[in-house]
Structure 1
Amino acid sequence: MLTLELSGQSYSKTEHRRRLQALLAGRSDGSIEFKHCNISAALMDLGFPRIQGYQPRFNYQALLAEILAAQVQVTSRLDQAAQAAVERPAIAPVVEDFSQVKTQAPACQAKVAEPEMPYAFRAMKRDYFEREAANRSLGLAGEEFIVQFEHWRLVQFGQQRLADRVEHVSVTKGDGLGYDVRSFEADGRERFIEVKTTSFGKDTPFFVSRGELLLSRQAKEQFHLYRLFEFRRAPRLFDLAGQLDQHCLLDPISYKASFS
């Protein structure tokens, strides 16, 4: 199913479920749907996007993770489809009415403190979320979309003068400032916007730099992270205002190693 989705092809979830029921005696529709939600979660933990329509349920069995990891290692078509999907170039759509673009952010599910367990090492061909984050064409298109959105937002407040001053700073000044777009509140205060764009769903993980995290703490009254999702189909966004660690679970996944 995921391979078909990433390739832009359609399929019937109902027909798929019926075929499974013929093989799984006694399994209800609900139990099969729930297991696919577990599979969505396990796919995300392996660095793949989830299956559309199956909200990830992360409390899945270790055996499911082992079997799925083994399957994706030998399924070359899925690997090829995922790689093509995350590396595809993108352009910013022209939108006149942004009134339906903004939505609520996902709720942060706090983890229950547990004794530290040995790290589960799993072979992975690629982390597709990381590869998508490195897609400069997609990132730039998302930033351009947000420049349009901010212009529209300020015009709605009757602030045409401020709307005309919205600046795409990652282009005009370069990266490294901790944000991509300089905008304004209706009263003229500056708004610093970091843009994170994905072609996948609302709950897709994203990557935050040390500088972005520090700016979100130091300028918490001005900092906003706009998460754009489903960008290629129908762009939507949610806004994380202020300190990022107040909204998200931050997992340190890499370190800079040096000798001094």
Structure 2
Amino acid sequence: MAEGQHWSREEVEACVADYMRMLTMELNGQRYSKTGHARALLAQLDGRSRPSVEFKHCNISAVMVALGYPYIDGYKPRGNFQSLLLDVVESHLQANVALQEAAQAAVLRPAVAATPGDASSIWVPPPRPQRISEERAAYAPRFSAARRDYLAQESRNRSLGRAGELFVAELETRRLHSAGRKRLAERVEHVAATKGDGLGYDILSFEDDGRERLIEVKTTAFGELTPFYVTRNELARSEADADQYHLYRLFDFRDHPRLFDLPGSISVRCQLEPVSYLARLAG
């Protein structure tokens, strides 16, 4: 079969099943070989190359995120996936109790405060989501029994959130110390803990010249392209104080904490999607 031809349902089924096995092991903390999995999978496919399989795994990651699941580290989500792929992933997820249990345990797992290492290995540039077209998907909002709220549950994991905030507070203190601003370093404050979480940011820090830096920390144990949740209050604060506001996205927190900075208004730096509403009785 020519590499450019459409994937058959049998090929998609094999690729999705392999992805689900790897993701379940990853969420459970088990080691596995992507190379070994790719080699075994290629033997089931009709003349596909490894880059083609990896591309398909990245498409699966995009579907997983759309359905509220974490994705495999190293297979960054790529959009514009086949509608067939969505159907197959949904079917596999509904029957995969082991993966559901692994995802549930992963998002609820407590976290402890971590000590930042070398700042040069922690900071990374903001990633650019990849949208390389494979086949334009006829995808529209749909009711799906496979949809879960695992990523939303992780965003409510207070232990993980607090650990991430403490990590950033220490990182900011070190940054100001290194800049020779010891007094400013001593004034870095974890305001989410000392004053409450209604300010629209978590950490009060400072620029080298003494101007305030308002930092909102969003922490995940998963990859850098994992979507995150912001409140209306955080959004409003980022717009009112755009010249001072910074959203720090901290990812891979349990294994290798890294972060990137999204300064300014959140609505400018992120694509926002309304996912819930506060409802009051009409009238």
TM-score by length of 1: 0.93
- State the secondary structure of the residue aligned to 1:27: coil
> 1:152 matched to which residue of 2?
174
**2:139 and 2:118 mapped to 1: Cα distance?**
49
For residues 15-54 of structure 1, give each alpha carbon's deviation from its aligned partner in whole angstroms, at most 9, with x where no partner exists: 2122222221222222212111111111111111111221
**1:17 and 1:153 mapped to 2: Cα distance?**
42
Mapping of 1:198-237 within 5 angstroms?
198-237=220-259
Query: What amino acid sits opposite 1:70 in the alignment?
Result: S
Q: Displacement of 1:73 after TM fit? A: 1.0
**2:129 and 2:32 mapped to 1: Cα distance?**
32
For residues 124-143 of structure 1, give each alpha carbon's deviation from its aligned partner in whole angstroms, at most 9, with x where no partner exists: 36311101001000000000
Cα RMSD for the two superposed structures: 1.7
Is structure 2 residue 29 aligned with structure 1 residue 8? Answer: yes
> 1:21 matched to which residue of 2?
42
- State the secondary structure of the residue aligned to 1:249: coil
Mapping of 1:14-53 within 5 angstroms?
14-53=35-74
Query: What amino acid sits opposite 2:194 in the alignment?
Result: T
> 1:63 matched to which residue of 2?
84
Is structure 2 residue 216 aligned with structure 1 residue 180? Answer: no
Query: What amino acid sits opposite 1:134 in the alignment?
Result: R
Q: Is contact 2:68–2:150 with CA below 8 Å preserved after alignment? A: yes
Q: Is contact 1:46–1:124 with CA below 8 Å preserved after alignment? A: yes
Number of matched pairs: 255
- State the secondary structure of the residue aligned to 2:217: strand
**1:155 and 1:108 mapped to 2: Cα distance?**
34
Query: What amino acid sits opposite 1:15 in the alignment?
Result: G
> 2:19 matched to which residue of 1?
none
Is structure 2 residue 127 aligned with structure 1 residue 106? Answer: yes
Q: Is contact 1:200–1:229 with CA below 8 Å preserved after alignment? A: yes
Q: Displacement of 1:118 after TM fit? A: 5.4
Match of 1:74 among 64, 80, 95: 95
- State the secondary structure of the residue aligned to 2:120: coil
- State the secondary structure of the residue aligned to 1:67: helix
**2:77 and 2:53 mapped to 1: Cα distance?**
13
Query: What amino acid sits opposite 1:28 in the alignment?
Result: S
TM-score by length of 2: 0.86
**1:6 and 1:109 mapped to 2: Cα distance?**
24
Q: Is contact 2:248–2:261 with CA below 8 Å preserved after alignment? A: yes
Q: Displacement of 1:254 after TM fit? A: 1.1
Q: Displacement of 1:205 after TM fit? A: 0.4
Is structure 2 residue 94 aligned with structure 1 residue 85? Answer: no
Q: Displacement of 1:228 after TM fit? A: 0.4
Q: Displacement of 1:200 after TM fit? A: 0.6
For residues 194-241 of structure 1, give each alpha carbon's deviation from its aligned partner in whole angstroms, at most 9, with x where no partner exists: 000000111110001001011111000111111100000111110110
Q: 1:17 to 1:223 in 2, by over 3 A?
A: same
Match of 1:247 among 269, 278, 281: 269
- State the secondary structure of the residue aligned to 1:99: helix
- State the secondary structure of the residue aligned to 1:192: strand
**1:125 and 1:26 mapped to 2: Cα distance?**
33
**1:205 and 1:23 mapped to 2: Cα distance?**
33
**1:72 and 1:8 mapped to 2: Cα distance?**
20
**2:262 and 2:61 mapped to 1: Cα distance?**
25
Q: Is contact 2:222–2:253 with CA below 8 Å preserved after alignment? A: yes
Unaligned runs of 5+ in 2: 1-21, 132-137
Q: 1:56 to 1:125 in 2, by over 3 A?
A: closer
